[in-house]
Every structure is written in structure tokens, then in C-alpha cells.
């Protein structure tokens, strides 16, 4: 029975992803990927995150690095919430548990941990796009 429910859940996820408003815009950016992590968040590429930023009306870009790393270079519009402070601060700083949250760090390790933490706290639209070292678009500093 558990296998049947798991299969039904995965089919529903694939249907949701397939019916998403994010699709290839002809510019080569892929739609949401169908490789949803078992833990409840989705791993996407930097290009997919960029597409979401361009098309979605409501999203949060979450930088989970340290304050020093954030000051050196960050994605414009990102908010800083270090991954080791998520449990203490997420409820206050990320009050909408249904908001699209796009997470990054330096290389992808902390963003994966942060994605797992957010899902465990009840967030439902969590997307890990890895590290800023793989971000091919503009960043800001200061």
C-alpha cells in the first residue's frame, strides 16, 4: 500500500510540475525539472532560478551564506538568512510558508541543508539552485 501511495504522490508531483506556468520561453531556459528530491524540495539550475525570477510575481531569493560572504557578492534582491539561523528566524523573516523560495549559498552544500530545514518547518515551494559560484548572471556587492 505504501508503494502505491508513493507512486500516486510522484504522479501528482509530475502533473503539478508539468502544469506549472513556467515553461521554455524559447530562450533555452528549461521548465521546472521533474527530479523532485525525496526530501520535499526541488533542485534546479541557476538558469531555471533566473527564469522563475523573470516570470514569477512573488518569490524570495534566499542567501544562506554568512554576512561577510553576502557583502562580498550576492544576487540582487536576495535576503540574507544564514543556514545555521533558519530554525530560529524563519518564522519571523519568511512568514509565508507557501511563497516560492529560491535558495543559494556558495557551492550548494548549505543551500541543500537549508532547503531540507525549510521543508521540515512546513515551507512548500522550496527550490535549491546551488551555489553563487555557478551563477552566470550579474551579482552586486557591498
**Cβ atoms of residues 116 and 128 within 8 Å:** no
The residue among 45, 27, 26 whose CA lies nearest residue 35 is 45
Q: Which member of 49, 60, 105, 125 is catalytic?
A: 105
Buried b (16+ CB within 10 A) or exposed e, 41-68: bbbbebbbbbbbbeeeeebbbbbbbbee
d(CA 24, CA 45): 14
Is 105 designated active site? yes
State residue 125 phi and psi, 5-degree precision.
-130, 70
Q: Looking at the annotation, which residues are catalytic?
A: 105
Amino acid at each position: 500500500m505504501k508503494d502505491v501511495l508513493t507512486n500516486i504522490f510522484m504522479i501528482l508531483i509530475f502533473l503539478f510540475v508539468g502544469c506549472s506556468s513556467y515553461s521554455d520561453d524559447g530562450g533555452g531556459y528549461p521548465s521546472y525539472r521533474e527530479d523532485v528530491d525525496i526530501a520535499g524540495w526541488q533542485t534546479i539550475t541557476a538558469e531555471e532560478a533566473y527564469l522563475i525570477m523573470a516570470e514569477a510575481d512573488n518569490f524570495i531569493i534566499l542567501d544562506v551564506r554568512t554576512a561577510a560572504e553576502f557583502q562580498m557578492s550576492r544576487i540582487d534582491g536576495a535576503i540574507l538568512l544564514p543556514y545555521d539561523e533558519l530554525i530560529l528566524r524563519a518564522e519571523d523573516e519568511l512568514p509565508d510558508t507557501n511563497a516560492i523560495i529560491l535558495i543559494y549559498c556558495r557551492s550548494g552544500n548549505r543551500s541543500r541543508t537549508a532547503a531540507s530545514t525549510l521543508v521540515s518547518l512546513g515551507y512548500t515551494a522550496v527550490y535549491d539552485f546551488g551555489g553563487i559560484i555557478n551563477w552566470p548572471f550579474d551579482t552586486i556587492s557591498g
